[in-house]
Amino acid sequence: MKSFGARGYDPEPPVRQGWQWLKTLTPYLLEYRSRVVVAMICLVGAKVASVSMPFLMKHQVDQLDQMPDGFSGDAWLWFPLGLLLAYGLARLMSVLFGEIRDLVFGRVTERAMRRTALKVFRHLHGLNLAFHLDRQTGALQRDIERGVQGISFLLRFLVFNILPTLLELFMVIGLLLINYPPVFAVITAVAVVLYVLFSARMTEWRTQYVREANRMDSTTHARALDSLLNYETVKYFNAEQREAAAYDEALAGWEAARQKNRYTLFGLNAGQALIISVAMLSMMMFAGWYVVKGEMTLGDFTLVNAFMFQLFLPLNFLGFVYRELKASMANIERMFELLGETTDVPDLGTEAPAAGKGELEFRQVGFGYRSDHQVLRDFSLRLPAGKTLAVVGGSGAGKSTLTRLLFRFYDPQQGDILLNGQSIQRVPMASLREQLGIVPQDTVLFNDSLKNNLLYARPEASDDELHSVIRMTRLSGVIERHPEGWDVLVGERGLKLSGGEKQRIAIARMLLKKPAIMLFDEATSSLDSATERAIMASIREVSAGHTTLIIAHRLSTIVDADLIAVVEQGQVVELGDHAQLLEQRGAYFQLWQHQNQGSTPASDDEGAAE
């Protein structure tokens, strides 16, 4: 069986290194400048309190060590007791400042996560259709999810762990250098440098395995989602075992990547532990030596020991943080790659839509989804305002491509498309699409109520308007069949409804929008004959006076069209009304004869693969 990459997910995405995520997040951090400042003040306060604790402990030990034997008075308790109270207060302030820092900065982190996720979401909706046809939703969703969580980790640990540990490190080295022989500061500095260099080198080496594990995680997630979304197809072809085998193949790749990750983690942890242990042993040996010589007190010995635990334990955790930081950066690389994707159909229009009643013209349009295969060739067609034009032809002739070009999912490589005499590329996409309404060939609904799926066309529509389009599209029976009425959930992609019911909802939704130009792409292909006749009558009624483009398969539905264009190999070969085309006894006449004899040509299923 082919690997998952055959289904369209990019198995080897390019990697963008660097800290560009910090540049992207900076505006969101500056949005709460006061919170960032307060968090930094609390960070410094917590570390000052933390560093003061070993000194308070040193003086406490020295005072107790100097107490005379057999002394029974109470006065000696006050000074050591004061040191103990100061030590307790310092510990409390260290914890309290840390909690305040977390509380204050948490809002900044959450807002940055929200802004970034929204930015990626909007950017993905701004990309052209070709990008989404080449990607898998499950893998995209996983990339965004991991990226947002990675941002959370990076911000939290940068402020809560990395900066505090570095600040404490410099403070400790400075205090040791001022108060004790230089050997203690030197050992600390050398140990830290070795620790950081070793951790950085090892982590950089490990990052390739982290990326591999992430890639396989996205692969397995997308594979499972793809299979579950196509549950019925799997059942139709008795393919459960094949799907399970393919999923297990993806899981095996993930397992192997995780195993490599775990082995390298062992090497990293062992090396870090060795450096810390040697440094702490050296520090304690020198401290013990100076105590024996009488150059340091027991309190100094306690201080050095406390500093080592206080410094190297966070430093050991900093090693974990650095590893996770690199893993998080690997996580957000894919998300920021998505932000770097550019669209082939830029929205550069700045002109207001031209006034008019909806005259549409395709002028010498040339277009192909691939450079080696042209779908439309020198295609010219004019649809007068207020008229109905039907486009017919065989599969792959280029009929449905017209709607994609009109909505600017793609732009033509040659020629232009004019609406009321104005190039549609000069108008903002939002303004263009406000004038268009479509019943697509394949109706996909949201996993929401039937009512909300209708209101998606125009959220402010009244209940009376809803009832009107429901009546026109004969949806009343669907609503009456369910106790919840129009609040019934339609299921994911509308799977709880039949194909005909989904098409009726699509028609009702388009009618509710009341667009200037109505497009019907095989709008009645899933309807029975009686419903089709009723809905076509409703369509003729509501489209009267509107510019209407119908991509048709059943010729019986478009015999009343003002114009009928027959398209073959991306060009208009015949144009006229029903009677005129039958008199010509050409391509349209042949199609009519085939359908009347029951030999129906295949429906137009052209797509981006053309």
Q: Where in the chain is the domain with CATH 1.20.1560.10?
A: 17-340
CA dist., res. 257 & res. 201, Å (int): 20
Contact 304, 291 (CB under 8 A): no
Check pLDDT > 80 for residue 156.
no
Residue type, 419: L
CA dist., res. 367 & res. 365, Å (int): 7
Edge-to-edge strand ranges of the sheet holding 571-576: 436-439, 517-521, 547-551, 388-392, 563-568, 571-576
Check pLDDT > 70 for residue 400.
yes
What token pair was written down for 100? 């305040």
pLDDT digits (tens, 9 = 90+) for 12-42: 444 444 456 666 667 767 777 788 788 888 8
The residue with greater pLDDT, 131 or 485, is 485
Closest CA to 141 of 249, 226, 230, 56: 226
pLDDT digits (tens, 9 = 90+) for 234-251: 876 778 888 888 888 888
Q: Where in the chain is the domain with CATH 3.40.50.300?
A: 347-435+517-529+547-605, 444-514
- The total of other beta-carbon atoms located within 10 Å of residue 304's CB is 25
* Beta strand 376-383 pairing with 360-367: antiparallel
Topology (CATH) of 444-514: Rossmann fold (3.40.50)
CA dist., res. 413 & res. 327, Å (int): 42
Answer yes or no: CATH 2.60.200.30 is held by domain 347-435+517-529+547-605.
Answer: no
pLDDT value at residue 1: 35
Share of the chain above pLDDT 90, in %: 8
Check pLDDT > 50 for residue 6.
no
CATH number, span 17-340: 1.20.1560.10
The residue with greater pLDDT, 12 or 539, is 539
